[in-house]
Amino acid sequence: MPAPMLSMTLITFAAADPGGWGHLVDRVRAADAAGVDRMALSDHVAFGENLEAYGDPAAGGTAGGRQPTGPDGHWLEPLSTIAHLCAVTSNLRFSTNILIAALRRPAVLAKTVATIDVLSGGRLDLGVGVGWQREEYEVCGLDYADRGAQLDHTLEVVQTLWTETRASLHTDRLSFDDIHQMPKPVQPGGVPIWVSGTVNRRSMRRLARFGAGWIPWGPDAVDLPAGIARMRAAVEAEGRDPDGIGVVANLAVSVNDDGRVDHDATMRGVPALVEAGVTDFRAALRIAPDAPDAQEKMAALVAAFRAAT
């Protein structure tokens, strides 16, 4: 298993027009120089007005959760944003967390993701999930009730196009033969797919079939060691060895009364989570967009993380 990675969330949305997005370039350049491993970007295509559905687990949301903007919040599309940010960084990886992949036409998604992977030198991960919002599916002309099957279909198409030089696929949704789509992703086997979801039969079947990693959701993200154990058992029941499947954990950043990060407190639980199987720690480090010491703060967090792992 490779060394654990330190990721950070990159806020590419705002409740109102921020007047420009140049601070994103400054932030990823600082992260690249500081040694951060990966930046994760969120996805929304459009909004309806039923935002309380985010807090409904039955709709794919999380209990008690709250959508961070109103329906007129400004959200950048993550893949095009990543393409832009890859051009101004050298080592930093990028991931979607999560891309509502079924909203994109599968062959076009395969081409877009492969292009970013090639141009970035293999610095892309694709975190995917079904999302929680009915209206996003409706505005794309898709059936919300069918969202899980649509995601599985999307992943099957993209992996087929990434791995077969002369691609053919025949399902109840799509049929093609002798399709050529070049260039392929530079990462062996295609861009790594990280599957988001709770431990349920459909998401675990998706993880076993397509996933390089798991992004826990809901109650499985609260008690992570127990969630990982359930995930491993479920994946094994689907006929796949769970060894080698990466796992994301949120890393809570502890802050003292003076506003400084308490690195010892922040890293206290990290070794136990590594032992449980976590491979990607995702920190929400709050730094003002125009902070002159952003790189210094991120480098200090990286150093503390490396020491803990």
Q: Encode pLDDT of 83-122 as tens digits.
A: 999 999 999 999 999 999 999 999 999 999 999 999 999 9
- Kindly report the average pLDDT of the chain as a whole number: 96
Averaged pLDDT for residues 180-208? 97
Average pLDDT score over residue span 244-262: 94
How sure is the predictor about 291, in pLDDT bands with cuts at 50, 70 and 90?
A: confident
Counts for the chain of helices (H) and strands (E), in that order: 11, 12
* Residue 1 pLDDT exceeds 70: no
HEC string of 64-122?
CCCCCCCCCCEECCHHHHHHHHHCCCCCCEEEEEEECHHHCCHHHHHHHHHHHHHHHCC
Cβ neighbours of residue 260 under 8 Å, at least 6 residues apart? none
Q: Are residues 218 and 57 in contact, defined by beta-carbon separation less than 8 angstroms?
A: yes
Say which amino acid occupies 35.
G
Residue 213 CB partners (closer than 8 Å, separation 6+): 125, 192, 193, 194, 195, 245, 246, 247, 248, 279, 280
Instruction: Please tell me the distance from the alpha carbon of residue 51 to that of residue 74, in angstroms, as a whole number.
Output: 15
Average pLDDT of the segment spanning 66-92: 97
Mean pLDDT of 166-183: 97
Cα atoms in the Cβ-side hemisphere of radius 13 Å centred on 137? 18
Cβ atoms within 10 Å, residue 31: 27
Can you tell me the distance from the alpha carbon of 83 to that of 107, in angstroms, rounded to the nearest whole number? 18
List Cβ neighbours of 265 (8 Å cut-off, separation of 6 or more): 254
Question: Which CATH number goes with the domain that contains 216?
Answer: 3.20.20.30
Residue span of the structural domain in which 156 resides: 5-308
- Is residue 63 over pLDDT 90? no
280, 7 contact by CB (below 8 A): yes
Number of domains in the chain: 1
**Rounded distance, CA 129 to CA 58, Å?**
15
Global pTM value: 0.95
Residues of the chain with pLDDT > 70, as a percent, come to 100
